[in-house]
Structure 1
């Protein structure tokens, strides 16, 4: 049984549903697909954000912090989810946003929702943002904002990886291959660790040049579990041109998937992952009879 957390009082839907998908394109390849609907865990803190935030919120509460500070780009799901969690639990939140040129402009829907949930947005130039892991930069932020618990970009740290362990455990016996989109590697690190010995995970980086995430996943597993855990690989071909970018082919795939299955895949992460799964199936990458679970992270 997973350990109780401060978010349990918010009635998360756990385990998240596993919904079969019937699609003749996959049937021709002899494989079966189910969607792991982590996006349905909570209406305000969906998917991997719930799983990664929960242990960090426990740590903040145990250490007596009243404020969370974290980092993200202008369209960061993590910033929005952190703001929602803070509002629901009575914690102040600060979001350090990449892109000083955005300051003073109308907020996009993602940042507008974070601000509506009480997050204080602090825009920095890209050179400063690259210093986000430097202790001296974090000290500068503390001098400006006071004390806080700092969460990394995307919320991916060792605690987050342990929070995603349960995702893998929920899929034991239900999938031979689990597919997940990757932004920072924390979800893949925990997911792979939680899977049984006969299953493997495939991570689909949504950033161009996402091969660096292999080192991040390895580092997170060492920090969280003391060493490598589970079988996992990365397929870096499906980034669609980079973070928050897409292609006409990817857009057409997402629209067709929605028409067939009644779910429009979220474009930054989920659509790229699903496109990767269908492409691999067409390439014959999966043995006939393979059960694939695709994680809908948000």
Structure 2
């Protein structure tokens, strides 16, 4: 891969809440890596794109909702690496396009829409065969980059043993699985599902871990690090945002100079700060919070919140 990506930086957070809890707090700024293809989305795309190149595919096809960070990043990455891109979007077309889909089109992505019932079949062989027949030889990347290539890339996110606990927001569990596989003995990972009823992700993450270790793909460790899910900071469900989260995000950005995306990172940061107040973490614990990017989605959500 060409060196068009900046290495992520670790930024300390000087928080009175963390200081009172006796906890050291830092954030891994994956949002700095590239203006458009950043955060965990790049790590989940990296090995999918490499496989597509090695197998001489010229078209990437993937799935996502109307505000999908993955659709945004895949469109930009496809443009950067010379692929035609097709986005299968959940739901009906709504014009004018929101900022996420407008950007995708500007990057050359062709958008097609699947009704919600059809969209639920996106992982089936029947639908994928239908799409291959419709669009020709396309390299299909699952929604959110959720496959073993995605897990492999996410193993590369955390490459330091300088932290005791790593916290990350979860949608599919792919990123969390990769982080778990990268951690050393004594480290642990905590995932914060952004979907209502996110407890189901425990079995998803467990499957990713078992399947990856059985695949023979490279991994940092054969042992699986300690991990858990904390499921009560979803704020009502996926892409649901309330006034409390908006206020927290704005205040956090003003105080620490770190913008948060409302769909993922803000919910995790809110949860961590709340847990610090409750004394959830041990004194002396060194926490690393993963900023997974996705800031472009804020504009659409802010517009919806003002309506």
Distance (Å, rounded) in 2 between the aligned partners of 1:104 and 1:189: 34
After superposition, the Cα gap between the structure-2 partners of 1:228 and 1:218, relative to the gap in structure 1 and judged at 3 Å, is farther
What is the Cα deviation at residue 232 of structure 1? 1.2
**Is 2:172 the partner of 1:184?**
yes
Aligned to 1:89: 81
What is the Cα deviation at residue 21 of structure 1? 0.5
- Name stretches of at least 5 consecutive residues in structure 1 with no aligned partner: 1-5
1:183-225, Cα deviation, whole Å (9 max, x unpaired) = 1111100011101111111111111111111111111112222
* Residue 68 of structure 1, aligned match among 60, 66, 69: 60
Aligned to 1:195: 183
Where 2:178 maps in the other structure, the secondary structure is helix
1:109-134, Cα deviation, whole Å (9 max, x unpaired) = 00110111011111110000000011
Distance (Å, rounded) in 2 between the aligned partners of 1:243 and 1:228: 32
**Is 2:111 the partner of 1:121?**
yes
What is the Cα deviation at residue 167 of structure 1? 1.5
- Name stretches of at least 5 consecutive residues in structure 2 with no aligned partner: 215-221, 294-307
Distance (Å, rounded) in 2 between the aligned partners of 1:112 and 1:45: 16
Contact 1:159/1:224 (<8 A) preserved: no
**Is 2:215 the partner of 1:229?**
no
* Residue 45 of structure 1, aligned match among 23, 32, 37: 37
Where 1:203 maps in the other structure, the secondary structure is strand
* Residue 138 of structure 1, aligned match among 118, 128, 134: 128
Where 1:94 maps in the other structure, the secondary structure is strand
**Is 2:240 the partner of 1:251?**
no
Contact 1:73/1:99 (<8 A) preserved: yes
Distance (Å, rounded) in 2 between the aligned partners of 1:117 and 1:11: 17
**RMSD of equivalent CA atoms:** 1.2
Distance (Å, rounded) in 2 between the aligned partners of 1:228 and 1:268: 31
Distance (Å, rounded) in 1 between the aligned partners of 2:135 and 2:277: 52
Where 1:237 maps in the other structure, the secondary structure is coil
* Residue 11 of structure 1, aligned match among 4, 13, 16: 4
Distance (Å, rounded) in 1 between the aligned partners of 2:205 and 2:281: 23
What is the Cα deviation at residue 42 of structure 1? 1.5
Aligned to 1:263: 258
- Give the TM-score, by structure 2 length: 0.91
Distance (Å, rounded) in 1 between the aligned partners of 2:179 and 2:199: 18
After superposition, the Cα gap between the structure-2 partners of 1:281 and 1:270, relative to the gap in structure 1 and judged at 3 Å, is same
The total of aligned residue pairs comes to 286
1:42-92, Cα deviation, whole Å (9 max, x unpaired) = 222101111111111111011111111111011000001000010011101
Where 2:61 maps in the other structure, the secondary structure is strand
- Give the TM-score, by structure 1 length: 0.93
Distance (Å, rounded) in 1 between the aligned partners of 2:183 and 2:248: 29
What is the Cα deviation at residue 177 of structure 1? 0.6
* Residue 160 of structure 2, aligned match among 156, 171, 174: 171
